[in-house]
């Protein structure tokens, strides 16, 4: 519980990695520079979002592979990989490879559900097996099994000059303990706990039990996860609210941040869409103001690590200012100390 007497243990951030579709390289380079800056500022973790058929990172594992060669300490995560788009065996190979390259710093976050706009993308994604694919928790179970080194093939041994393994290669010990599930419902929280995973909760939850109180719903999900997890209260939970400190921001930046939050506020008042999604308000203010608001947040008081989300559409200079203030102003306000 991050209070004045028990400090925030881990401070991270999350970025979407936007790019210009006509010139995508600068956007990807900017994302890598943001991850490098995070390490320089002493953040514990940096996370990237996953966006298919959009102008954001479509292959976070590839981006993080590059990041492993430009950082040496900071943990690198995905928040989250939607497994409906993935083959668990191939993804297990990619994750293990990047974890080896990073020296054991990868924190893969995953989730399940049918791909967005599935009817439109199914002919390209699963042209022959679209009606047979299982988009439930079984997909995560398969991935976890393969990452743990359980059997992937009934064949192993030497054939000619080639040697074959019955398990995914490379095998990266410890990676399975760094797998996260990104959930927004009590059902997902309970499943993640029973599966022994870590839990990512963000600025979006499902309205449940007739309640529209975001904080209370998120709090209930965190507690459900830990009740179901073998590690109980020690089970890891990371919270990912949008938090924008303004201490060193220019007058223009402060106005932009306030306008950004104001335009997104209306959607937080009622459940959105057929899924009944509730969105948290964005948090904008000085480090002292933000710390006071966070200490009052019922779910924040249940976690000791965060991955604050950077707004999607800001400029590189904005991200530098926000990250610098998170690490040098808000982090210390929450009792956190940088890792160098």
CA distances from 261 to 34, 118, 280, 283 (A): 22, 31, 11, 8
Average pLDDT of the residues in 159-188: 98
Predicted pLDDT at 5: 60
Burial of 6 (0-12, 13-18, 19+ CB in 10 A): exposed
- Rg over alpha carbons for the chain, rounded to the nearest Å, is 20
CA distances from 246 to 307, 321, 333 (A): 18, 8, 14
On the question of pLDDT at 339 being above 90, the answer is no
pLDDT digits (tens, 9 = 90+) for 30-67: 999 999 999 999 999 999 999 999 999 999 999 999 99
Predicted pLDDT at 209: 86
Of the candidates 327, 208, 179, 321, the one whose C-alpha atom is nearest the C-alpha of residue 271 is 208
Average pLDDT of the residues in 239-264: 98
Phi (first) and psi of residue 14, to 5 degrees? -130, 135
What mean pLDDT value characterizes the chain?
96
Domain 10-152+164-333 coded CATH 3.40.50.300: no
The enclosing H or E element of 42 equals none
pLDDT digits (tens, 9 = 90+) for 220-248: 999 999 999 999 999 999 999 999 999 99
pLDDT digits (tens, 9 = 90+) for 78-134: 999 999 999 999 999 999 999 999 999 999 999 999 999 999 999 999 999 999 999
What whole-number distance in Å separates Cα of residue 234 and Cα of residue 140?
22
Give strand ranges (E) for 192-323. 198-202, 204-206, 237-240, 243-245, 277-279, 283-285, 305-309
- Of the pLDDT bands very low, low, confident and very high (cuts 50, 70, 90), residue 6 is confident
Domain edges within the chain: 10-152+164-333
Average pLDDT of the residues in 329-334: 98
- Of the pLDDT bands very low, low, confident and very high (cuts 50, 70, 90), residue 1 is very low
Strands 204-206 and 277-279: antiparallel
Average pLDDT of the residues in 247-274: 97
Q: Are 326 and 286 in contact (CB under 8 A)?
A: no
What whole-number distance in Å separates Cα of residue 214 and Cα of residue 203?
9
Number of C-beta neighbours around residue 2 at 10 A: 23
Write down the residue that tokens 């941040």 correspond to: 257
Predicted pLDDT at 338: 94
């Amino acid at each position: 519980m991050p209070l004045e007497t028990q400090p925030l243990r881990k401070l991270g951030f999350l970025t979407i990695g936007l790019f210009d579709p006509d010139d995508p390289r600068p956007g990807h380079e900017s994302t890598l520079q943001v991850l490098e800056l995070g390490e320089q500022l002493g953040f514990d973790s940096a996370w990237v979002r996953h966006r298919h058929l959009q102008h954001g990172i479509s292959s976070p594992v590839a981006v993080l592979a590059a990041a492993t060669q430009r950082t040496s300490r900071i943990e690198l995560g995905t928040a989250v990989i939607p497994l409906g788009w993935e083959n668990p065996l191939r993804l297990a190979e990619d994750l293990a490879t990047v974890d080896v390259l990073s020296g054991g710093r990868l924190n893969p976050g995953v989730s399940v559900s049918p791909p967005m706009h599935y009817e439109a993308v199914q002919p390209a994604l699963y042209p022959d097996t679209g009606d047979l694919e299982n988009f439930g928790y079984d997909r995560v179970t398969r991935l976890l099994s393969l990452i743990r080194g359980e059997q992937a093939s009934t064949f192993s041994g030497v054939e000619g000059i080639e040697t074959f393994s019955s398990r995914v290669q490379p095998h990266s010990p410890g990676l399975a303990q760094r797998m996260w599930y990104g959930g927004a419902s009590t059902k997902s929280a309970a499943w993640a706990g029973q599966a022994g995973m870590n839990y990512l909760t963000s600025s979006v939850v499902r309205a449940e039990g007739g309640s529209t109180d975001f904080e209370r719903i998120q709090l209930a999900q965190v507690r459900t996860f830990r009740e179901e997890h073998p590690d109980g209260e020690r089970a890891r939970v990371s919270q990912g609210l949008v938090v924008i400190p303004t201490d060193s921001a220019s007058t223009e930046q402060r106005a932009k941040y306030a306008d950004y939050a104001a335009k997104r506020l209306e959607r937080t008042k009622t459940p959105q869409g057929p899924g009944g999604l509730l969105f948290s308000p964005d948090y904008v203010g000085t480090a002292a103001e933000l710390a006071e608001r966070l200490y009052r947040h019922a779910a924040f008081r249940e976690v000791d690590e965060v991955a604050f989300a950077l707004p999607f559409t800001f400029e590189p200079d904005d991200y530098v200012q926000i990250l610098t203030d998170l690490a040098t102003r808000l982090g210390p306000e929450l009792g956190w100390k940088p890792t160098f």
